[in-house]
Structure 1
Amino acid sequence: MRIALFTETYLPYINGVVTHVKILKEGLEKLGHEVLIVTADASARRHYVKDGVLHCPGARIKRFYNYGVAPPISHRRLQLIEAFHPDIIHIHNEFGIGLSGVMAAKMLKVPLVYTLHTMYDDYLYYISPRPLLGVTKRLSHRYFKFLAKNASALTGPSKKCEEYFHEVGVYKPVTVVPNPVELDMFMPENISEADKTAFRKRYNIDDDVMIACFVGRLGREKSVDVLLEYWAKTMTPQDRIHLIVIGDGPCKEELEEQAKELGISEMVTFTGAIQHDELPPYLASCDIYITASLSDTNSISMLEGMATGLPVLQRLDPLNEDQVRNGVNGYVFNSPEEMAARLRYVKNMSPEQLAILKKSVTHSVMHSGAEDLANYMLTIYHKLYEKA
Structure 2
Amino acid sequence: MHSVAAFTDTYLPTVNGVTYTVRTWCERWRERGGRMAVVFPGAPGYEPGPEADEHPTRSVGFPFYEGFRLGLPAVPTPVRRADPSVIHAHTPFALGLSALYLARRTDTPLIASYHTPTAEYADYLAAGPIATAVEGVAERYERWFMNRASVVVAPSEPARDHLREVGVTTPVRIVPNGVDAEFFAPAGRGATTAFRARHGLPEGPLVGYTGRHGYEK
Please state which band the TM-score falls in when normalised by the shorter chain: 0.7 to 0.9
Q: What residue in structure 2 maps to residue 174 of structure 1?
A: 172
Residue 198 of structure 1 deviates from its aligned partner by: 4.1
2-structure distance, mates of 1:36, 1:157: 22
Q: What residue in structure 1 maps to residue 90 of structure 2?
A: 92
Q: Indicate the SS of the match to 1:21.
A: helix
2-structure distance, mates of 1:135, 1:195: 50
Residue 165 of structure 1 deviates from its aligned partner by: 1.6
Contact 1:92/1:115, CA 8 A, preserved across alignment: yes
Amino acid at match of 2:71: A
Amino acid at match of 2:177: N
Residues 98, 30 of structure 1: alpha-carbon distance in 2 compared, 3 angstrom cutoff: same
Residue 20 of structure 1 deviates from its aligned partner by: 1.1
Match of 1:205 among 201, 207, 210: 201
Contact 2:154/2:174, CA 8 A, preserved across alignment: yes
| Structure 2 residue runs without a partner (length 5+) | none
Q: Indicate the SS of the match to 1:113.
A: strand
Q: What residue in structure 2 maps to residue 82 of structure 1?
A: 80
Contact 2:119/2:136, CA 8 A, preserved across alignment: no
Q: Indicate the SS of the match to 1:144.
A: helix
Residue 26 of structure 1 deviates from its aligned partner by: 1.1
- What are the Cα deviations for residues 195-238 of structure 1, in whole angstroms up to 9, with x where unaligned? 544432343211x121112232334543xxxxxxxxxxxxxxxx
Contact 1:90/1:114, CA 8 A, preserved across alignment: yes
Residues 199, 59 of structure 1: alpha-carbon distance in 2 compared, 3 angstrom cutoff: farther
Q: What residue in structure 2 maps to residue 240 of structure 1?
A: none
Q: What residue in structure 2 maps to residue 101 of structure 1?
A: 99
Residue 10 of structure 1 deviates from its aligned partner by: 2.0
Q: Indicate the SS of the match to 2:208.
A: strand
Q: RMSD of the TM alignment (CA)?
A: 2.3
Amino acid at match of 2:33: G
Residue 3 of structure 1 deviates from its aligned partner by: 0.3
Match of 2:161 among 154, 160, 163: 163
Residues 118, 176 of structure 1: alpha-carbon distance in 2 compared, 3 angstrom cutoff: same
Deviates more, 1:129-138 or 1:18-27: 129-138
Q: Indicate the SS of the match to 1:86.
A: coil
Contact 1:41/1:69, CA 8 A, preserved across alignment: no
Q: Map of 1:357-376 to 2, 5 A cutoff? A: none
Q: Indicate the SS of the match to 1:123.
A: helix
- Could you tell me the percent identity over the aligned residues? 28
Q: Indicate the SS of the match to 2:98.
A: helix
1-structure distance, mates of 2:90, 2:124: 19
Q: Map of 1:125-274 to 2, 5 A cutoff? A: 125-188=123-186, 191=187, 195-206=191-202, 208-219=203-214, 221-222=216-217
Contact 1:112/1:153, CA 8 A, preserved across alignment: yes
1-structure distance, mates of 2:131, 2:151: 29
Residue 54 of structure 1 deviates from its aligned partner by: 0.7
2-structure distance, mates of 1:88, 1:108: 10
2-structure distance, mates of 1:108, 1:193: 55
Q: Indicate the SS of the match to 2:145.
A: helix
Residue 25 of structure 1 deviates from its aligned partner by: 0.8
2-structure distance, mates of 1:18, 1:157: 15
Residues 197, 62 of structure 1: alpha-carbon distance in 2 compared, 3 angstrom cutoff: farther
2-structure distance, mates of 1:63, 1:131: 18
Q: Indicate the SS of the match to 1:63.
A: coil
Amino acid at match of 2:196: R
Contact 2:4/2:35, CA 8 A, preserved across alignment: yes
Contact 1:40/1:58, CA 8 A, preserved across alignment: yes
- What are the Cα deviations for residues 317-375 of structure 1, in whole angstroms up to 9, with x where unaligned? xxxxxxxxxxxxxxxxxxxxxxxxxxxxxxxxxxxxxxxxxxxxxxxxxxxxxxxxxxx
Q: Indicate the SS of the match to 1:32.
A: coil
Residue 34 of structure 1 deviates from its aligned partner by: 0.7
Contact 1:89/1:101, CA 8 A, preserved across alignment: yes
Contact 1:78/1:104, CA 8 A, preserved across alignment: no
Amino acid at match of 2:205: M
Q: Map of 1:290-369 to 2, 5 A cutoff? A: none
Amino acid at match of 1:96: A
Q: Indicate the SS of the match to 1:5.
A: strand
Instruction: Pick the structure with more helix per residue.
Output: 1
Q: What residue in structure 2 maps to residue 27 of structure 1?
A: 28
Contact 2:146/2:168, CA 8 A, preserved across alignment: yes
Task: Give the count of matched residue pairs.
Answer: 213
Amino acid at match of 1:187: A
Q: What residue in structure 2 maps to residue 113 of structure 1?
A: 111
Contact 2:88/2:113, CA 8 A, preserved across alignment: yes
Q: What residue in structure 2 maps to residue 56 of structure 1?
A: 57
| Structure 1 residue runs without a partner (length 5+) | 223-388
Contact 2:150/2:170, CA 8 A, preserved across alignment: no
